[in-house]
Structure 1
Amino acid sequence: MTPDLVIFDCDGVLVDSEPLSNRVLVDNLARHGLTLTLDQAMGLFVGGTMAGVGAKARDLGADLPDDWVDRIYAETYARLREGVDPIPGISALLDRLDAAGLPYCVASNGSEEKMAITLGATGLAPRFEGRRYSAHTLGTAKPDPALFQHAARACGVAPERCIVVEDSATGAEAARRANMPCLGYAPTGDGARLSAQGARIIRDMAEIAAMLGLPAARVEPAPK
């Protein structure tokens, strides 16, 4: 199907922020008595809310202060402001969506501030101006489908006419519950947790353009 709207997750789909954010988290939790590897942290926490991360970390033995969520956000945002890369191939994919006139937006469990930092650092922010939807603002989070449903309504598109691009099982579950086909971005690993939620696994952003039959982006000739 050619959709009427592509809904992107942000972290791990548009911007390569997950390793950076989770390294900050690993270092922080170690100071509070919970030692994890980066791979363990990403397996446990990617796709969740920070409040949920804190609750799970406490269950695992971390001694976190009451204001931990505010503190970890401050540490994470400070690290992300130092720089973050776009996901390989995402700019080219957005070029091709633009060339096809196919609308897209971003819907993230992250805050508006975090999206502004990461999308701004990668130069992607103008491409999502007025089309950024945050679980913090809406007051609900994936795997609740409400965030994706809200994004579809805001863009005037029926849920079944959307395609979601996600990298977490939590996001893929939200897409399934919203009745939206999901492409699960898994550049490494087997993608089993994504496919268990019904996502079709992709390894490279170029696969999306080919899957949707998008025309190549027009390249303007260099001025003479």
Structure 2
Amino acid sequence: MHDLVIFDCDGVLVDSEPLSNQVLVDNLGRYGLNLTLEDSVGFFLGGTMAGVRDKARDLGADLPDGWIDEIYAETYDRLRQGVNLMPGVSELLTTLDAKGIPFCVASNGSPDKMKITLGQNGVWERFSQVVFSAHVLGTAKPDPTLFLTAAERFGALAPVVIEDSTSGVTAAMRAGMRCLAFVPNGGGEDLAELGAELFTNMAQVPELLGI
């Protein structure tokens, strides 16, 4: 029996990836790098913003020194306009509560971003005391520290990670943890090759966890 569920945030708990990536596409276009939404997801999903900046520069974007603060501000403004929970998340959290299985969120995103996205959907209070952020810990996925820190905090011996990116799955594998990869639109072969078990709907998770 798993004794902790560790959720990624963007693309797992909240449907923020399309919105954030559209902001990124629009912003980078102003700096000479024209990408499609699909390009942006392919290049940047699951990475840190410093990594996005460096990759974008490699691809030809003429980004200023203060670009990271700029893109965060633009992204947060867009997310404040509205972002949905992934379907089935609320029901899954209720099921985990009923079974006495603790859960937390571990993200490369900032606590401020998670408060925006989770707060407007009524679940921030369920995570506010169990947030593990790369911005706070100073180390990001694919480094496993975020997941290992969460497991240690809970004293968990058999945690399971729910992820949607190669960096997140890689971090889970490096942490020696079981990883379920959420692929609501199908695909995910690259995540399976890394060792994740694929699923397409949050309603599948209780059965996958054996609860």
TM-score tier by shorter-chain length is: over 0.9
Task: Give the TM-score, by structure 2 length.
Answer: 0.98
1:53 maps onto 2:52 in alignment = yes
**Per-residue deviation at 1:209?**
1.2
Deviates more, 1:173-182 or 1:193-202: 193-202
Q: 2:192 maps to which residue?
A: 195
**Residue 12 (structure 1) aligns with:** 11
Write out aligned runs for 1:1-224 (5 A).
2-158=1-157, 161-214=158-211
Deviation, 1:212, is: 2.1
Shift in Å, 1:147:
0.7
Q: CA deviation at 1:131?
A: 0.5
- Distance in 2, Cα, partners of 1:207 & 1:194: 18
Q: Secondary structure at the residue paired with 1:196? A: helix
- State the identity %: 61
Matched position secondary structure for 2:194: coil
Query: How many residues get paired?
Result: 211
Secondary structure of 1:184's aligned partner: strand
Structure 2: tracts of 5 or more residues without a match: none
Q: CA deviation at 1:157?
A: 1.3
RMSD across aligned C-alpha pairs, in angstroms?
A: 0.8
Query: Any unmatched runs of 5+ in structure 1?
Result: 215-224
> What is the DSSP-based 3-state SS (H/G/I as helix, E as strand, rest coil) of the residue aligned with 2:160?
strand
Query: Aligned to 1:122, what secondary structure does the other structure show?
Result: coil
Provide the TM-score with structure 1 as the length reference.
0.93
2:79–2:116 CA contact under 8 A, matched in 1: yes
Name the residue aligned to 1:221: none
